[in-house]
Each structure stands twice: as structure tokens, then as C-alpha cells.
Amino acid sequence: MKRFWVAIVAVFGVLLTACGRGSTGSTPEAKTLTVFAAASLTESFTELGKKFETDNPGVTVKFNFGASSDLAQQIVNGGPADLFAAASPATMKTVTDKALGDGTPVDFVTNELQIVTAPGNPKGIKTFADLANPAIKVVVCAPQVPCGAAELAVEKATGVDIKPVSEEPDVKSTLGKVTTGNADAGLVYVTDVLAANKAKPTVDGVSFPEAKQALNKYPIVVIKNAPQADLARKFLELVRSEAGKKVLQAAGFVVT
Amino acid sequence: MSREPAGLDAAIVLRRPEFTLDLAFAVAPGEVLAVLGPNGAGKSTLLGVLSGLLRPDAGHVRLGDRLVTDVAAGVHVPPHERGVGMLAQQGLLFPHLTALANVAFGPRARGVPRTDADAAARRWLIEVDAAELAERKPSELSGGQAQRVALARALAPEPALLLLDEPLASLDVDAAPALRSLLRRVMRGSKQSKVLVTHDALDALVLADRVMVLSGGRIVENGPTREVLTRPRSSFTARIAGLDLIPGTAVDGGLKTADGMLISGRQSEQLADGQSAVAVFPPFAVAVFRQRPDGSPRNVVEVEVAALEPHGDTVRLRAAALPAGPGWVDGLAADVTPAAVADLAIEPGMRMWYAVKATEVAIHPAAR
Amino acid sequence: MNRPAVLARRARDRHQISVGLPTLIWLPAAIGFALIVLPVAGLGLKTDWPRLPELIFSESALDALRLSMITSSISTVLCILFGGPIAVILARSRIGGLRLLRALVLLPLVLPPVVGGLALLFLLGRTGLVGRGIETAFGFTIPFTTAAVVLAQTFVAMPFLVVSLEGALRTAGQRYEAVAATLGASPMHAFRRVTVPLVLPGLASGAVLAFARCIGEFGATIAFAGSLQGTTRTLPLLVYLEREADVDAAVALSLLLVVVAVVVIAVARPRFVEGQT
């Protein structure tokens, strides 16, 4: 038994020493810009990244797409991001609270909720209030995630009480329940509906005016002391340019 | 519940990659048949066929008037409907049940109510001198105790045929003699047919009425125990037997042969005077002389040397009876060194004296 | 265990044969141990201890815990009822294709749970092969119900029960069943009175493994059952959700999950998992 604990202590010791040394930065051989961006930005940012590489020879853009909250946690824990585009001010706050933002984040687009239904909208859903019909199986995002928070805000503003069959942990999961036909309707973003129909029409999107009351803001910020802070600022400029706006609008975002 | 005494009649062919079991035999009601043979002779396979756990390729097994296996007619009565009991080498008591519950298992499986089954189990435990072990778990029993309980368990359903698969082989030398005499007592009193598989000639001698010797799946010898073991017709059987046997009746301090000669020896258990018994000693304990030796208390008998066979480092002499001498001398073996053979110039046809110390001779009760 | 029993066991241990272990074994064992224990210990370091009671005794957490315990218990029973016979067939029967059957039964072990959930959805979902029939015949659908959670858990946990029970059956062998048969026990009687009691430790450790797997199940559940407080949102689903908004809550709930798992294993350990009967 004693030997086991000796070995344990040795292993722990090695790990701790390794931790102490772990923070020495790596030296990039060519210029690589690393962008952490919300999953809903995947299509538009990938397109902008290609354009950026063409405009700036010798530069490679690397993306890390994912749930904004995961990305924020990664950045707080030393994730090597130069630029961070979040899907909600709350997740951005995780980063800025630790003073990791270089300046104040700017909201560059908003995303709007849309009702998603099976192709042809077989249940004839026209309004947000229709979703309160108990005969209609509705899936929404959980209030803990941005799309769920937005949905809850619309419910509050309209007084419509929706009884969802499931509160999904992310918007793609919500969409999935509708595309597989197990739910009649879901509340997702306009961008998600567009993306789902990119290859072939798989769902119908139903816009509703109340969505304007709960727009989801996307903030973006350069990370403090980023190795490629200059490139990050340049990419931010591209996102805010006319060309950038066009790409984002094509994906369904409202540019602010 | 109790079954009519039923004899066993079997003719079996079963092909295995290593050998083919091909034999036919019968066991009368109440009779004990010992099956002797080396490992791989097909003894366990035979028991498997009789119990119904294995299906032969051809042949039949008949228990009394019940046909339990008939390959040609497509008859195969499953093991649990045969009424064939089994006592295995390791006992195989169910580890999760007490000794009593183990013994009551058979009657319970046949639908006997619990209280009746327990009462029957207690009777059987008394029968095997294990009444005080009733509440113990198998893990709390010694090898000999476990085997006694296993015997009670095998007997409790009152099977028409009892199979014993090397029941003494895994016991230590202190426990084996006690269980051997218990088996003898219990088997003597029962009416069912019994088949005892063993590799120990002594087991056959003490427990069996008849001996069947198997080799490579075939019967090489089959007859009354003493006849087969004392006068092996093949060197093969002689090797299996490996012991010198002299039949007779028990007397104080030894055994009296049919012709009235006294063989001094130690009795393996308390024997009544006049009880059928056998004197047993190993061939290496036999000393050979040209002249009748005298002096120390020895059993001496004059023989004619019938044959000399190499036997490991020694030479085994086979005796034949003298024209006027006792018949039991036939086949008695003596192991002597090659040097002694040369010194004494032993050759077949010579007259010699065999001598065995009384301390080397064990007197056992004989089956019949 | 009471103190005399512990002392007795220690005394026994001292007298047990010990052949010693190769020294080289200790280092990889320690690394492996660290790999398992350090991250879990890290949870403890990350925990916001003052807020812990509030976080784990919240209504949503208690709902999730209750749902996890109930569904995992039902799923474990289903694993025993359906996986047990599979194990018996794998260990005892001589039908052809057993190897293929075993490989298929073990599929959920290698399949990502989310894929398993999708597969369940495609079969039992509203548009699935069987699900559509169920809806037209009985008028109900399985997804988004507690039944879906149970199905998802049973799907991923069944192989654990089958594997450990089959192992136990093979170790026990058929000798005792043969003895029972010669004593007149029908196959059913022998199964109930001999086989089952003999493999009970293996069955129990398999059930503990299956239960533990059910408690931790996430992927198949989210894909097939969705996530709704009190109905389908089990503890792992709540952890996953909370980590989006409140990492402290997620860590606290993870800690709760760890405690539940440790309790399950600890309660079952002395007699079953170590095979001491």
C-alpha cells in the first residue's frame, strides 16, 4: 500500500510542476488569427475568414465555433483567442468581468426568433399565440440559454403562456426536434431556419412581430494582450464593413 | 415416491475425437458395478450418458422396464425425469444452501412439501452420520463431511440408479477410509443399481460386486470383483489393480483363506469373525526366497514362478498355483530388483517362497 | 461492518498468502488513479461552497435528482428483466450466431449515446417506424415523456448488465445445474433455485453498473426524450443546461451527481462488486 501512495505523490508532484510551467506561450511560425465565435456564426464567419485570408496574404484564420458559454469558459481558462464573438451579452460578460476584453465589446448583429414548423406548416401556425394551443407540441430553448431567454421575454411581453414539451439545452437541439418531426413547432433564430434550408427545404419559418421585443444581441471584442491583436482588429473591421454586413444579412442576421 | 428396484441395461456407442465409447453391460437391482480404467478411458462419458446429460450416437439405456434412451427410436428422457442420482468427485453441494436444504433439494424439486422434504432430509443425514451438520453451509464443511452430505442428497430422491463418480478421489487419506466404509454400509442396504467409477482397485474391492475394466472406450474385462482383480486376465487389468489380493474370511488378527491358511494383517475396520474379507498388500512388499524363510512373523507361501515382466526399475514376478497348493496363489505379484533375479537365478517354472510382513497386509471387508 | 468483524477480517488478511506485486505496476496504477481522481477533486476545488446548499436544494435540482433516481431504478429493473435472459442465452444456449448476437448486444457500449438516442428517435419517434404505429393505434407518442428517459437509459445500460451476468454465469459453469437435474429438478426449477442464487453476486454487480450508467446517462436522453423539468430533465441534463448560464450551479450539481454515484458504488461494493458473498 505504501508504495502506491508514494507513486501517487510523485504523479501529483509532476503534474503540479507541469502546471507551473504551462503558461509559457507558444511561438507562432506564420501569422495565425484565432477567432472564437458563437455556433450560429459558423457559415457567415467562415466565408468572411476566406475573404480575410485572400485580402491578407500569409495570414491564416482559425475558428473555434461552439456554444458561447463554452467559448467564454475556455477564454477565461486561458483559451488562445484573439477575437471573441458571442451570441449574448451575458456570455460576453463572463469574459469582460475578468477584464479580458480589449476595450468595450460592440454589438454587431442581432438575431430574431422565428417559429419553425414542419414543411408546409401542417398545423397552420400563424402567430406566437397559436403556440399556446395544448394540441401543438412545442419545443423551446431552456431559459438558461440565450434563445430560451429571448423566448421567455416574448412570453412575458405578450402574456402568452406556452407549455413546451421540452426545454432544449441549445438552439440546434430545438431545431432537431422539429426536423425529425417529433415536435410540431419550435422557437429558434431566423439564422437557424435559413441554415437548415440551405441544402434543401426541410422546415418552414414563421415570423411573428413580437420577436422584435426580444432581439438577441451579438457582441464582439478583441481579447486583451492577444498575440494577434492587430489582425483581430482588422478582422473586426471586415465584419463591420459593407462586405461583412452583406454576408451576415444573407445568413439572416440584422446588422446594427 | 419410492421406486421399484430396477436393473440397468445399457448398450452405448458415443464417438469423441479422442476415442469411441462402445460397450454393452447390465447391472442387476441392488448390485454395485465398479468401472475401472485409466484417465480418458471413457468412464465419465459413460456416466454422462447414463444420467442423460449426454446423448449417445447409438444404442439404448433401460432402467427396469423404462426405456430412458433409445437413439433409434428417438427416445431421450431428460436428466431430471430419469431418476438417476449422481455423487460427483467434488460433492458439488449447492454453496448457497445449508446441508439440510441441499439434501431436501431433490424431494422439493419433485414437489414434496417443505416440512416433509426437510424431515426426509434429516433422516438421510442421520443415515450418513451427518445429522449434526444440518444447518451448516458447504463452506463450513470438511471434504469428508461435504461428501457425506452429498451422498445423502443423491440418495434422498431415492433414484432407481445411483452413479458415483470417483467419490473418494478428492478426499485426503484420513477421510477416505471412513467414507469408504460409510458408502459400503449405505450401498449395501439399498435396492437400487449402482455404478461406481473409480481408478482405485481398493474402492472396487470394498464396494463393488462386479468390476468392468474400460480402456479406450471398450470393455476389456468384466466379472466378479475378486475374480477380476485377483486373477487379471490381461496385464492391463493387472496394472490397474496393482495390488496383491487374497480372499477369505475375517478372523482375529487377520484372514483365513478357503483352504484354512491364516494370513496375518491389520484390519482396516472392525470386522466380525467369519465376515467375507480380502487381504491386500502391494507387490513391492513381497520378499522372494529359494528356501522357506523362518524367524520374524511373516506370511509365507510356496509358489511357482509363471512369468517375469519388467516393471519400472524392478522385475515383477507372477505366481502360479502349485498342483497341490492353494488356488488363490494364482496371479500374486512380487516386485524384485534385477540384481535379486540374477542372484537367485529366477526363471519361469521355478518353485519359490513368497513372504510378506504382517504389517504390510491390510484386511478389508469384501463386497460379497 | 462492526468492529469485531473488521478486526477478524484484518487478521484473516494478514494470514492470507501474498506473493507480492512487481514494482513497475505501481507507477501506471498511480497515473491511472490520478487521471480518475484529480478531475473529480478539481470539481471540489471549483465548488462555491457557501452557495452549495442553495444550489443543490433548489427546486429544479431536487426535481432532477428525484427523476434521475426513479428512472434509473426502473431502467435497472428493465435491464434485469430483459438483459438477464439475454445473458443466460449467451452463456448457456448452443444456438448458432451467438457471437453475432453478443456483438449486437454490446453495440450501445461503442455507440455514442447521442447516436443511440437518434436511433431510438427514428424507431420510436412520432415519425419513426414503430412510433407512428403506436400513435395511430394508441394515440400517444413516446418522445418527451418519462418513458422515453427510461428507454434511453435502458438502451445504454443493458450491455453492462449482460456482460457482467454472462461472466458470472460462465464462471459458475453448468456443474451445479447438472447436479440439480440428476436430483430431479426441471430446468425451470434448477434455474430458479440454483442458477439464479449462484449468480446473484454477478447479477447485483451488473445491476449496480447498469444503475450507475443510468444515473450518468445524458446523450441518448437529450436526443430522444428532450429536457423538461420534472418530466425528462435528469440530473446530467440539468448539469449540462446550468453550465450555459451558471457554472457554479453546474459544478454544484456535478458534485451532487458524484456523491450519488459514490453512494451507489459504496453501498453495493462490500458484498457485490468485489464478489465477496
Domain boundaries, chain A: 31-110+218-255, 113-214
pLDDT at C277: 40
- C-beta atoms of C34 and A145 within 8 A: no
Q: Do domains A31-110+218-255 and A113-214 have the same CATH topology?
A: yes
pLDDT at C227: 92
Is pLDDT larger for residue A225 or for residue C17? Answer: A225
Quote the minimal CA–CA distance from B153 to chain C in Å. Answer: 8
- What spatial distance separates the first Cα and last Cα of chain C, rounded to whole Å? 14
The domain total for chain B is: 2
Tell which of C127, C227, C235, C240 to mutate to test the A interface (max A CBs under 10 Å).
Answer: C227
pLDDT at C1: 44
- C-beta atoms of C194 and B94 within 8 A: yes
Residue B88 and residue B176 in one domain: yes
Q: Is B340 on the interface with C (CB under 8 A)?
A: no
pLDDT at B365: 82
Kindly give the pairing relationship between strand B298-311 and strand B351-357: antiparallel
The strands making up A216-222's β-sheet, listed across from edge to edge, are A59-66, A31-38, A83-85, A216-222, A106-111, A254-255
- Residue of C232, C250, C254 whose CA lies nearest to C63: C232
ipTM of model: 0.77
| Cβ contacts of C38 on chain A, cutoff 8 Å | 12, 15
Rounded Cα distance, B332 and B316, in Å: 10
Longest Cα pair distance anywhere in chain C, in angstroms? Answer: 68
Rounded Cα distance, B84 and B102, in Å: 17
- C-beta atoms of B105 and C193 within 8 A: yes
Nearest CA in chain A to C232: A166
- C-beta atoms of C126 and A73 within 8 A: no
Residue B190 and residue B56 in one domain: yes
Q: Is A11 on the interface with C (CB under 8 A)?
A: yes
Residue B64 and residue B175 in one domain: yes
Q: Is residue B248 part of a domain?
A: no
Q: Is B101 on the interface with C (CB under 8 A)?
A: no
- Residue of B54, B60, B63, B57 whose CA lies nearest to B15: B57
- C-beta atoms of B96 and C183 within 8 A: no
Rounded Cα distance, B260 and B255, in Å: 9
Helix/strand/coil for A13: helix
**The domain spanning residue B89 has which CATH number?**
3.40.50.300
- C-beta atoms of B154 and C181 within 8 A: no
How confident is the model over A171-189, as a mean pLDDT? 92
- Residue in the structure block whose three cell numbers are 421406486: B3
Per-residue pLDDT reduced to its tens digit, C196-242: 999 998 898 899 999 999 999 999 999 999 999 999 999 999 999 88
Q: Write out chain B's pLDDT in tens, 368 residues.
A: 344 557 899 999 999 888 899 999 999 998 999 998 877 788 889 999 999 999 999 999 999 889 999 999 999 999 999 999 999 888 899 999 999 999 999 999 999 999 999 999 999 999 999 999 999 999 999 999 999 999 999 999 999 999 999 998 888 878 888 888 889 888 887 788 999 998 888 888 889 999 998 888 888 889 888 778 776 666 667 667 778 888 888 898 889 888 888 899 888 778 888 888 888 888 888 989 888 887 666 788 889 998 888 877 888 888 888 888 888 888 888 999 988 888 888 888 889 999 998 888 888 887 65
Confidence label for A6 from pLDDT (cuts 50, 70 and 90): low
- Residue of A52, A58, A53, A63 whose CA lies nearest to A85: A63
Confidence label for C177 from pLDDT (cuts 50, 70 and 90): very high
Per-residue pLDDT reduced to its tens digit, A118-160: 999 999 999 999 999 999 999 999 988 888 889 999 999 999 9
- C-beta atoms of A181 and C242 within 8 A: no
Name the residue facing B80 among C175, C184, C200 (closest C-beta).
C184
- The CATH superfamily holding the domain A31-110+218-255 is Periplasmic binding protein-like II (3.40.190.10)
Residue B191 and residue B321 in one domain: no
Tell which of C182, C188, C191 to mutate to test the B interface (max B CBs under 10 Å).
Answer: C182
| Cβ contacts of C144 on chain A, cutoff 8 Å | 137, 165-166, 182-183
| Cβ contacts of C26 on chain A, cutoff 8 Å | 3-4, 6-7
pLDDT at A244: 94
Task: Name the average pLDDT for chain C.
Answer: 87
CA B82-B83-B85 angle, to 5 degrees, is 115
| Cβ contacts of B102 on chain C, cutoff 8 Å | none
Beta-carbon neighbour count of residue C176 at 10 Å? 19
Kindly give the pairing relationship between strand B84-87 and strand B58-63: unpaired
Considering only CB atoms, which residues of chain C are within 8 Å of chain A? 23, 26-27, 29-31, 33-34, 38, 121-122, 125-127, 141, 143-144, 222-223, 225-229, 232-233, 237, 240-247
Mean pLDDT comparison of A3-17, B155-169, C43-57, highest-scoring range:
B155-169
Residue B134 and residue B200 in one domain: yes
pLDDT at A23: 41
Quote the minimal CA–CA distance from A34 to chain C in Å. Answer: 22
Nearest CA in chain A to C142: A182
Quote the minimal CA–CA distance from C157 to chain B in Å. Answer: 28
- Residue in the structure block whose three cell numbers are 451558471: C246
Which residues, in sequence order, are CB contacts of A1 under 8 Å at separation 6+?
none
Q: Which CATH number fits domain A113-214: 3.50.50.60, 3.30.70.60, 3.40.190.10, 3.40.50.2300?
A: 3.40.190.10
Q: Is residue B91 part of a domain?
A: yes
Domain containing B318 equals: 283-357
Which residues on adjacent β-strands are paired with residue B122? none
Which chains neighbour C (Cβ–Cβ under 8 Å, 3 or more pairs)?
Answer: A, B
Nearest CA in chain C to A5: C30
**Fold of the domain spanning C58-274:** MetI-like fold (1.10.3720)
Phi, then psi, of A244 in degrees rounded to 5: -65, -45
Rounded Cα distance, C259 and B147, in Å: 48
Confidence label for A8 from pLDDT (cuts 50, 70 and 90): low
- C-beta atoms of A73 and C141 within 8 A: no
Q: Is B88 on the interface with C (CB under 8 A)?
A: yes
| Cβ contacts of C122 on chain A, cutoff 8 Å | 180
Instruction: Report if pTM > 0.95.
Output: no
* Spans of all domains in chain C: 58-274
Name the residue facing A7 among C27, C122, C245 (closest C-beta).
C27
Confidence label for C158 from pLDDT (cuts 50, 70 and 90): very high
- Locate C120 and state its grid cell: 431510438
Q: Is residue B84 part of a domain?
A: yes
- C-beta atoms of B106 and C184 within 8 A: yes
Q: Is B86 on the interface with C (CB under 8 A)?
A: yes
Quote the minimal CA–CA distance from C184 to chain B in Å. Answer: 4
Inter-chain contacts counted by CB atoms under 8 A, chains B and C: 71
| Cβ contacts of C182 on chain B, cutoff 8 Å | 51, 53, 79-80, 82, 84-86, 154, 159, 163
Which residues on adjacent β-strands are paired with residue B310? B315
Which chains neighbour B (Cβ–Cβ under 8 Å, 3 or more pairs)?
Answer: C
B75 and B247 Cβ atoms separated by less than 8 Å:
no
Element (H, E) at C210: helix C196-216
The strands making up A113-117's β-sheet, listed across from edge to edge, are A166-168, A138-141, A185-189, A113-117, A204-206
Residue A66 has pLDDT above 90, yes or no: no
Helix/strand/coil for A218: strand
* Calculated CA dihedral for residues B97, B103, B106, B110, nearest 10 degrees: -90
Residue C113 has pLDDT above 70, yes or no: yes
Look at the alpha carbons of B137, B142, B145, B151 in this order and tell me if their dihedral is positive or negative: positive
Residue B168 and residue B46 in one domain: yes
Name the residue facing C31 among A11, A144, A170 (closest C-beta).
A11
Residue C119 has pLDDT above 80, yes or no: yes
Q: Is B134 on the interface with C (CB under 8 A)?
A: no
Q: Is residue B253 part of a domain?
A: no
Residue B154 and residue B226 in one domain: yes
Beta-carbon neighbour count of residue B324 at 10 Å? 6
Rounded Cα distance, C190 and C184, in Å: 9
Nearest CA in chain C to A71: C244
Phi, then psi, of B41 in degrees rounded to 5: -80, -15
